[in-house]
Each structure stands twice: as structure tokens, then as C-alpha cells.
Amino acid sequence: MTGVAVHLEGLRRTFGATHALDNLDLRIEPGELIALLGPSGCGKTTALRILAGLDDADAGRVLVGGKDVTGLPASKRGMGMVFQAYSLFPHLDAQRNVEFGLRLRGRKDAATRSAEMLELVGLAGFAKRFPHQLSGGQQQRVALARALAIEPQVLLLDEPLSALDAKVRVQLRDEIRRIQTEVGTTTLFVTHDQEEALAVADRVGVMKSGKLEQLAAPAEIYQKPATAFVADFVGLSNRLAGTVHGDVVEVLGTRLPLVTPHTGGSAVTALVRPEAVGVTPDATSEAKVLTASFLGPTSRVTVTAGDQLVVAQVPSGQLPSLTPGTAVRLELQPVPVALQD
Amino acid sequence: MAGLAAKRARKQRAFRWTVLIVLGTFFLLPLAAMVEFSTRNSETWPLLVDWPQLSATYPDLANGIVSSLGQAALTSLLMLVLLVPTAIWVRLRLPKLRPLVEFLCLLPLTIPAIVLVVGLAPVYAWVNYLIGGSSLTLVFAYTILVLPYAYRAIDAGLSAIDVKTLAEAARSLGSGWMTVIWRVVLPNIRSAVLSAAFLTVALVLGEFTIASLLHRTNLQVAIDYLGKSSATMSVAVSLAALLLAFVLLIVLSLFGDRRTTAKEKS
């Protein structure tokens, strides 16, 4: 199966005075998995629902495979969808749930296809179980099998992991990626969990107030955030006072490149990642360790430097030498930083 | 501590039994009196289960029974056809209208039957004129009368499932609205629909005021007439109707219990 291109063109949607979507443009390449990431109310689910045909845009077009489907009802769009809430039909067992869409299409191979799909999601032995006999993770797998069974043009995942516990989330997240790569369906994945988005997507679209702030590969989103909002929303950031000198900003005595050129005044607040901060014991330094927390392979150290608090992520092996009260020297890695608006 | 708890448990048990016995006596005594009275003539009950004989001996009663059964069946059907799609549609597409629809459906509960009849009389003058005076025309009035009970039952069924998500899942899989209602929502509110239907049947079988005041025949009107000529038979029929309603309600609760237990067991 090969995917089709999806193009959301100038989508607008308002709910009362709120602009859920404000001229949103998004192009998904064939077979690509794009994750829309953003805080609650940023419009990511609205975008997905409009693509699914479950909601209408006030303006704009939805193109799937070059065809305008804006006016088509959800039932005619041929899109598979997995919902945040458990959506299996309670009166049907897993197999009949997967067969549902196939039988509507009059497919004679419904039983075989549904068995294949259940196998694909690792639930071959659960065909006769009813939804209330399945765990949350299993229900979402069946929902995924049901969505994929109809060989959808586009797969839509509306926060499908948010109701699951942490371990199952990670397992299912990886499985979704494996299956999506295997079947090659163009996929839109909506989530508010940055780790989830960065882990599964080919590209991540960070949304704010109905607009795309940045659409880029996960590594780029993390390392070169286009705006302060993206830097702040994706990953942890220190807010440190700095001074702009041309195309660099000086923070804690180190000159760091800027992600985007700065045009305002020279006194700014730079957003610096904890892993870009190095901490070394140095008896001559005025900076002191305030707290040190063990987090497994890495540890988090909070340092007071003048009137600023700096959070650093260091290898756990360093932790014994960084007890609270230790005088330390801070070293910033010269990675590009964003400035707070 | 254990002694205190046992003493309290004994007290509570004694209280429960007292309440049960007092209320049981209150409800069962009239029924026992009815059984006693209706069995004084040994021919009464055998005649009641011999339909040809019954309809030959008491044609009005037979007519009333047939009318009531017809009314119960048609009212259930009309109620379901009107109420089920409306309740589903309101939940899916017009959630803001839900309080209004609920208010309208509960309204008949607050209006005494006699007041309803005053309003219905001129309407039924037109019904008489347009489609005749058959007792089955009472179905329209009864559908309004059962709305509060039926709406509550169906609404409770819809509250128990996530109608919106199920409907959206079905639509994304290619279902039109009729398929959504018929193949996804209805099977999941089956017990609620049955509750609504049983309550309707029970209510219609016991209805007297509207039928009598609108000069139509039904079981209760026939029993009332019969009471003037054969008191024993009239009491026997009343008791039988009451038992039928009990059986319906027991079947209803058993059905509900079975579904719940099946779910819990699994």
C-alpha cells in the first residue's frame, strides 16, 4: 500500500470568539507520519477532525491525493481513525469490530482480512474477546487494526495513547510506528505529549493558537526551535539573562549562536537546554549546587549563579562530586538558542 | 467491638424484616382479598383462560382485552419510532436542546390525566372525523402519556455508552447515519429500549381515565363495565392484568440483571 499526499489549505475554524484554526496550511507527503503537537486548545484536534470530515471548516480546503474532499461526509472519505476514548463497538467482539468497515464495503474476504489485521497488531488470539474483556492497550490495538483493515487513504490518530499507562504507551507508540512504516499509510498523529511526538513522527508540527509555529524533523524541532514558544514547549529550558551582540548572545560569559536573528534591544532572555549546561566542581567559582536529583542514567542539578537558577542535566556518574553546596563552574555548549519573546 | 457490631447487625436485620412484613402485608392483603373473592365462583378462572368461551360470554371484555393489547403494541412501536432516533439525534447533533427535550418529555407527568383529556377532547373530535372512532386512535394520546417513562429509560441507556465516539468511529469506517443508529447505537441500548417498551405496555394496560372520558374501549374500561354486572369476573380480570404487569416488570429486571451479571463475570 502506498500513501497519498494530504494538503490542508488555509483552514479556518472559530468556536464563538475562539479561533481554533487560523489559516492553517499543512502538507503531508505520501506515506509520511506527521505529529501535531501543542497545548490544549491549540487547534490540533480540530485540524484532524476537519481532515476526517467530522467537523466543518469555516474556510479553506482539504485535498487528499490531489482531490478536494472538503464537502465529502466522513463516511465517504475512506480514512481510518483511532480515537482518544475507547471506541470499539461494545456489542461486537474484536474480530467483528475489525470486520465492521469491511462488511460495509461488501468485502468477501472480511474474515481473513480481519484475522490478518489482528495478527498485525499482535492480537491474533483475542478475536473472540469483547471490548470489556480487553485491556485499554488491547482495545486501542484493535481500534488500530479496525482503522487499518479498510485500507484507508489516510490514518488519523487522535491522542490514541493518552488513556493508557506509561509503559503501555511506550510499547504501543513504538508499535504504531512499526505498523505505519510497514503499511506505508499517510498518517496524522495528534498528541500533547512531546516525547510521543518526537519518538514516532517523520516531522512534528508544533501548534499554537490555531497556527503552525514550526514544522520540521523531530531533531530540528528540539535543537533548532524556530520560536521561543517551540523552545519552551518542547523539552525543558532555562530562562537565562543574556546580551545580544550581533548574531550571538552572551549568556553566563559564553557566546552562543542565535536560532533566529534578533532585532530588539540587547538585553534578552535566552532559552538554554539543561543538557547544554556543563557543571564542573571549581572551588574558585561563586556558583553553588542547590539540589541534585538522581534520575537514572542522567541526573538533574540545580545551580545558583548570582541571582539566576540554572538547571543542568549531567551524567549520573558526576553526581557524587556535585553535592548541594559544592562550588561549581558552569559551561554552556555553543548550540543555537532561542530568545524569549 | 465484635459484640457491638453483631448487636447492631441484629437490630438492623430486625428493622428490615419489620419494614418488609408491614409493607408486604399492606400490598399483599388487597391482592389476597382479590384472590379470595375471585375464587368464590369456581368457574371464574377457568373461563378466563378459555378465550372462545370468554369472548362468547363477555364480548365487551374480550373486545377490551384485544383493544388494550393492540394499543400497547402500537403505542410501544410509535414511541420507539419517535423517541429513539430523536434521543440519539439530540445527543449527537443538538446537545444544547437536551434540557428542552427532557422538559417536554417530562411534561405529561405533571399534567393530570383529566386535564389532558380536556385538551385532547377537541383534538379527538378531529381524529374521529378524519380517521374514525376506533379505540386504537388512543395510541396517539398514550404515546404522549408514556413519554416521561420511555424517555428516561432510553436516555439512561444512551448515557451508559459514549454515543458520540461510537458514532464517529462508525462514520469514519463508512457508515451512513441510518447504519450508525441501526447497527451501532441500537444494539448497545437494547435493554434500555426494552425497558421503555415494557413500561409502555404496563402503563397502557392500566390506563382508564383517558379511554373512559374519550368514550373508547380498553381493558380497564371493560373491567369497569363488567364490575356492574359480574363483580367476581371483574376482580379476576383486574388481578390477571396486574399479574401480567408484574410478570413484565420481573422479566425486565431479570433481563437487566442478566446483562449486568454477564458483564461482571467476564
Cell of B258: 442478566
Q: Which residues of chain B neighbour A150 with C-beta distances below 8 Å?
A: 173-174
CB contact under 8 A, B172 and A52: yes
pLDDT band at B47 (very low <50, low <70, confident <90, very high): confident
Number of alpha carbons in the 13 Å side-chain half-sphere of residue B152: 10
Residues A86-144 have pLDDT tens digits of: 899 999 999 999 999 999 999 999 999 999 999 988 899 999 999 999 999 999 999 99
**What would the grid cell of residue B141 be?**
394520546
**Domain residue ranges in chain B:** 2-38, 45-265
Nearest to B173 among A53, A101, A132 (CB): A101
Set out the domains of chain A in order of their start, with CATH numbers: 6-228 (3.40.50.300), 236-339 (2.40.50.140)
Alpha carbons A267 and A249: distance in angstroms, whole number: 9
pLDDT band of residue A294 (cuts 50, 70, 90) is very high
Ranked by mean pLDDT, the top range of A26-35, A266-275, B210-219 is A26-35
Q: Which three cell numbers stand for residue B167?
A: 458514532
The per-residue DSSP string of B85-123 comes to HHHHHHHHT-GGGHHHHHHHHHHHHHS-HHHHHHHHHHH
Interface test with B, best of A100, A113, A129, A133 (most B CBs within 10 A): A100
The answer on pLDDT for B256 being more than 70 is: no
| Mean pLDDT on A280-308 | 92
The whole-number pLDDT of residue B252 equals 73
Confidence of residue B2 (pLDDT cuts 50, 70, 90): low
How confident is residue B22, by pLDDT bands cut at 50, 70 and 90?
A: very high
ipTM: 0.83
What does the pLDDT average to over A322-329? 92
Q: pLDDT tens-digit profile of B163-183?
A: 999 999 999 999 998 999 999
Q: Which residue has the higher pLDDT, B249 or A161?
A: A161
Q: Where are the beta strands (DSSP E) in chain A?
A: 6-15, 18-28, 33-37, 59-64, 67-68, 79-82, 154-158, 186-191, 203-208, 211-216, 238-245, 248-251, 254-257, 267-272, 277-281, 288-294, 298-305, 308-315, 328-332, 338-339
Contacts of A339 (CB under 8 A, 6+ apart): A228, A242, A244, A249, A258, A262, A268, A269, A270, A271
> Which pLDDT value is given to residue A223?
84
Chain A positions contacting chain B at CB under 8 Å are 52-54, 73-81, 83, 85-91, 100-101, 104-105, 130, 132-133, 143, 146-147, 150, 156
For B176, which residue in chain A has the nearest alpha carbon?
A: A75
| Cell reading at B125 | 373530535
Report residue B77 as a C-alpha cell.
Answer: 412501536
CA A61: distance to chain centroid? 24
Q: List the single residue in A79, A85, A91 with the smallest CB-CB distance to B188.
A: A91
pLDDT at B264: 41
Q: Quick one: pLDDT band at residue B131, thresholds 50, 70, 90?
A: confident
Q: Do A83 and B165 touch (CB under 8 A)?
A: yes
Judge: B169–A81 Cβ closer than 8 Å, yes or no.
yes
Residue B13 has pLDDT above 70, yes or no: yes
What is the percent of chain B with per-residue pLDDT over 70, rounded to a whole number?
95
Backbone angles phi, psi at A80, to 5 degrees: -90, 140
Q: What is the pLDDT of residues A35-88, one digit of tens each?
A: 999 998 899 999 999 999 999 999 999 999 999 999 999 999 989 999 998 899
Q: What is the pLDDT of residues B99-118, one digit of tens each?
A: 999 999 988 888 888 888 88
SS3 category, A33? strand
Chain B residues with at least one Cβ partner in A under 8 Å: 161-162, 165-166, 168-176, 179, 184, 187-188, 190, 263, 266
The whole-number pLDDT of residue B261 equals 45
User: How many separate helices (H) and strands (E) can be counted in chain B?
Assistant: 14, 0
Would you say the C-alpha torsion A206, A211, A213, A216 has a positive or negative sign?
positive
Residue labelled with grid coordinates 521561543: A228
Architecture of domain B45-265: Orthogonal Bundle (1.10)
Cβ separation A146–B173 shorter than 8 A: yes
Average pLDDT over all residues of chain A:
91
Range of weakest confidence among A214-218, A256-260, A274-278, B65-69: A256-260
Single-letter amino acid, residue A332: L
Look at residues A117, A108, A202 and name the one whose alpha carbon lies nearest to residue A152: A117
Q: How many Å apart are CA A147 and CA B176, to the nearest integer?
A: 17
Q: Write the residue in A54, A100, A132 that is nearest to B168 by C-beta.
A: A54
